[in-house]
RNA sequence: GGUUCCGUAGCUCAGCUGGAUAGAGCAACAGCCUUCUAAGCUGUGGGUCCCGCGUUCGAAUCGCGGCGGAAUCACCA
């Protein structure tokens, strides 16, 4: 509609003032709620053509449109704003087409689909997943769904950081203090068990450093030479050399961790198309580094460590290979990026990684470009903010890290308690109830996290996150469940929603308000895809739910005597529920039929 | 110190490429269940959009300069 109006205004200016005018001078927007009308033309930019006051110009253009454009049924001018009223017939006609559409994503489809890799999760195998990872996983998965809904070919990738000195730390601690403990023997989830030994390492290491400092060693030296750290470094060298016992232990502990991760991913409802392991890509990274050295793009120190000089790019010197010949994080990432490009020939490779690594990705891209890979421009760091607690940052040392598994089960427990308290779901089987509680608990958690702008740091307030009122996932789920309930009743009464038989006389202003919101869905999806922001969809779904709830409250649907009006409201309800369902689907949130 | 990001109600957050009187939720208070689900709806109170300057018909939005906060600048990942 906006596009048609734009053309019409353009035509009006041309006819009335005899001037050709650029498109961007014509601004059409939805009229604010407190004014009469549907669309507003901002006339200020047009004054230079009319050479007249804003009011007179508005009047003149308004009159022209009224006479030459049947969809317009009236207008008013307030200050410099020309408010156009669109006839109900036009709206109803528009809605009728929308309601008969099978695919609500159609208009959001891009004309040139791309191959896009979305890298997310990227866990370390030495720690279980926590709240921060949840944000990562939810954002990544949702981004995948949004891009795919727009028609792109999207591949979900997950690179597992399964090598490096940090892995050796938990292995070393397990060797020293583990006494052969396994997930089976301890009853612990594998990732939690390995995490336990990582913490043990840090504790022991810290104690050694402190002791050395107390004995007069300076801090840096103590950190470097503490026995635990030395042993870990030796282990890494052994591992890179492929020494069998080290390698076997590594493999064993990895299987524990992966089993643990899979369980958590499954609960969260996320998955991957292609999993990479750094243990498989770091060698390519090392080759690249050597190649770069040969081509004099990189340089070597006397201690034989290899560096990139990025001062010309406004960055620093960056280490790419240690003096002992082992790879660092950056080396691995160089390898993975090249590996992926060779495999998929992607146009974009989106990394969902926290903003603490902004610098890392700047450097990664700079090095790749220096090496001559022009596709490095397609590497996009989707940088999201930290999750903080009301008391501040999560600190593992203080035990304030919110564990992903615990959080998920707590949310479901709360869903159960609230539901029972409200006396809902009587007469359902225990399994059915569990399934509903699962959807609500997860819905609350996911929505709470996804509704905020990804790039901002966010506060995770536990008591707020389990609130099911207001701008929350369960509120939207509730709206949906309510509509479903209407349709269950309608079926009993043998009433159907018939999108082919919508009569324009049945529309009121409240209905048209809802239609206006519904029509924005494709636009929101496109915006979410280009701005990488699931939050846009979340907030849209909330607005729509709120609008519908008011509608629901104001009108009787099934009790309505007039069949045409009843049908109109039913169709409206139907479309609302479908769009809510799809919107939430893009966020990875499931909708319960009842709650 | 360099780089990046953030600063909107007591709290958590919206506010699209500049547009009319800045919006929700939570918290507080007051109402609404014989009806299609009250996890809802209605109302009241609550603002120096961090500060200043600039750009222009018009700035929470754009630019510059401050102030405040976060992250990062490791032979950690």
B13: residue with closest CA to C1'? A452
A143 contacts A103 by C-beta, under 8 angstroms: no
Q: Residue A142: enclosing H or E segment and its boundaries?
A: helix A131-149
pLDDT at A216: 87
CA of A21 to C1' of B8 (A): 36
pLDDT at A268: 97
Nearest nucleotide from residue A555 CA, by C1' atom: B36
From the number of C-beta atoms within 10 Å of its C-beta (0-12, 13-18, 19+), residue A216 rates as exposed
Cα R_g (chain A), whole angstroms = 30
- 3-state DSSP assignment of residue A14: helix
Nearest nucleotide from residue A558 CA, by C1' atom: B36
CA of A314 to C1' of B63 (A): 23
Nearest nucleotide from residue A552 CA, by C1' atom: B36
CA of A271 to C1' of B48 (A): 48
Structure tokens at A389: 């607690």
Nearest by Cα to A50 from A64, A68, A69, A36: A64
DSSP H helices in A269-321: 278-294
Nearest nucleotide from residue A440 CA, by C1' atom: B39
Q: Could you give the C-alpha distances from A396 to A11, A127, A186, A399, A401, in angstroms and in order?
A: 65, 11, 22, 5, 5
Helix axes A244-268, A165-177, angle to 10 degrees: 100
A492 contacts A558 by C-beta, under 8 angstroms: no
CA of A549 to C1' of B42 (A): 12
CA of A283 to C1' of B44 (A): 67
CA of A390 to C1' of B60 (A): 26
Q: Could you give the C-alpha distances from A130 to A25, A287, A391, in angstroms and in order?
A: 49, 34, 17
For A235, residues 6+ apart whose C-beta sits below 8 A from its C-beta are A168, A171, A172, A246
CA of A64 to C1' of B24 (A): 38
Nearest nucleotide from residue A357 CA, by C1' atom: B72
Nearest nucleotide from residue A327 CA, by C1' atom: B75
pLDDT at A102: 82
Structure tokens at A226: 């503490």
CA of A65 to C1' of B57 (A): 24
A52 contacts A101 by C-beta, under 8 angstroms: no
Sign of the CA dihedral running A537, A539, A540, A544: positive
Nearest by Cα to A565 from A488, A497, A491: A497
Question: Concatenated DSSP letters for A15-72?
Answer: HHH-----GGG-EEEEPPTTSSSSEEEE-GGGHHHH-S-HHHHHHHHHHHHHHH-TTE
CA of A2 to C1' of B14 (A): 24
- Could you give the CA distance from residue A547 to residue A572 in angstroms, rounded to a whole number? 12
pLDDT at A79: 84
- Could you give the CA distance from residue A15 to residue A9 in angstroms, rounded to a whole number? 10
Q: What length does chain A have?
A: 595
Sign of the CA dihedral running A529, A531, A534, A535: negative
- 3-state DSSP assignment of residue A73: strand
Strand B nucleotides with an atom less than 7 Å from a protein beta carbon: 2-7, 11-17, 19-21, 24-27, 35-42, 57-58, 70-77
pLDDT at A399: 74
B27: residue with closest CA to C1'? A464
Nearest nucleotide from residue A42 CA, by C1' atom: B19
B4: residue with closest CA to C1'? A358
Nearest nucleotide from residue A332 CA, by C1' atom: B77
pLDDT, averaged in runs of 10, over chain A (595 residues): 86 87 85 89 89 90 92 91 93 93 90 96 92 96 97 96 90 93 95 93 90 87 89 92 93 95 96 94 92 93 92 88 90 93 96 94 93 93 92 78 94 94 88 96 97 94 91 97 96 92 88 93 94 96 96 93 94 96 97 95
CA of A549 to C1' of B41 (A): 8
For residue A11, the Cα-to-chain-centroid distance in whole angstroms is: 42
ipTM of the complex: 0.95
In chain A, how many H helices and how many E strands? 22, 14
pLDDT at A170: 93
CA of A44 to C1' of B58 (A): 9
């Amino acid at each position: 509609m906006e596009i048609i109006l734009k053309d019409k205004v353009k035509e009006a200016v041309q006819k009335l003032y005899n001037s050709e005018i650029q498109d961007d001078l014509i601004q059409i927007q939805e009229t604010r709620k407190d004014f009469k009308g549907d669309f507003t033309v901002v006339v200020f930019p047009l004054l230079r053509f009319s050479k007249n006051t804003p009011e007179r110009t508005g009047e003149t253009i308004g009159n022209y449109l009224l006479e030459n454009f049947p969809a317009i049924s009236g207008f008013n001018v307030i200050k410099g704003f020309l408010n156009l009223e669109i006839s109900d017939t036009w709206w109803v006609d528009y809605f009728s087409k929308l309601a008969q559409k099978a695919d609500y994503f159609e208009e959001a489809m891009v004309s040139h689909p791309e191959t896009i890799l979305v890298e997310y999760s990227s866990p370390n195998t030495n720690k279980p997943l926590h709240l921060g990872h949840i944000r990562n996983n939810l954002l990544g998965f949702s981004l995948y769904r949004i891009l795919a809904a727009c028609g792109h070919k999207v591949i979900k990738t997950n690179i597992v950081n399964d090598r490096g000195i940090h892995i050796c730390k938990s292995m070393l601690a397990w060797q020293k203090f583990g006494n052969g403990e396994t997930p089976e023997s301890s009853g612990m989830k594998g990732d939690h068990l390995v995490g336990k030994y990582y913490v043990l390492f840090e504790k022991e290491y810290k104690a050694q450093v402190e002791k050395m400092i107390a004995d007069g060693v300076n801090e840096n030296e103590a950190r470097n030479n503490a026995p635990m750290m030395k042993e870990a470094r030796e282990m890494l060298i052994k591992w890179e050399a492929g020494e069998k016992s080290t390698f076997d232990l590594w493999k064993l502990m990895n299987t524990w961790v992966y089993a643990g991760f899979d369980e958590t991913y499954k609960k969260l409802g996320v998955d991957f198309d292609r999993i990479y392991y750094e243990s498989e890509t770091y060698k390519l990274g090392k080759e690249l580094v050597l190649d770069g050295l040969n081509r004099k793009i990189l340089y070597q120190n006397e201690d034989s460590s290899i560096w990139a000089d990025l001062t010309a790019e406004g960055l620093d010197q960056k280490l790419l290979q240690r003096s002992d010949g082992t790879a660092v994080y950056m080396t691995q990432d160089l390898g993975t990026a090249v590996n992926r490009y060779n495999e998929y020939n992607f146009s974009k490779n989106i990394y969902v990684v926290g903003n603490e690594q902004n610098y890392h990705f700047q450097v990664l891209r700079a090095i790749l470009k220096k090496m001559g890979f022009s596709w490095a421009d397609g590497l996009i760091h989707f940088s999201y903010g930290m999750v903080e607690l009301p008391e501040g940052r999560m600190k593992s040392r203080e035990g304030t890290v919110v564990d992903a598994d615990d959080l998920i089960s707590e949310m479901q427990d709360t869903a159960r308690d609230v539901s029972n308290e409200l006396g809902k779901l009587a007469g359902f089987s225990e399994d059915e109830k569990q399934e509903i509680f699962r959807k609500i608990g997860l819905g609350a958690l996911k929505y709470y996290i996804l509704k905020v702008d990804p790039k901002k740091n966010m506060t995770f307030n536990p008591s707020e996150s389990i609130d099911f009122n207001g701008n929350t996932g369960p509120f939207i789920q509730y709206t949906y469940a309510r509509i479903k309930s209407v349709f269950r009743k309608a079926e009993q009464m043998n009433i159907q929603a018939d999108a082919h038989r919508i009569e324009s006389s049945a529309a009121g202003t409240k209905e048209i308000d809802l239609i206006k919101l519904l029509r924005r869905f494709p636009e929101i999806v496109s915006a979410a895809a280009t701005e990488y922001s699931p939050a846009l969809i979340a907030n849209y779904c909330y607005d729509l739910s709120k609008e519908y709830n008011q509608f629901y409250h104001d009108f009787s649907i099934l009790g309505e005597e007039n069949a045409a009006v009843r049908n109109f409201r039913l169709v409206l309800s139907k479309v609302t529920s479908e769009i809510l369902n799809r919107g939430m689907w893009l966020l990875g949130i499931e909708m319960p039929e009842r709650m």
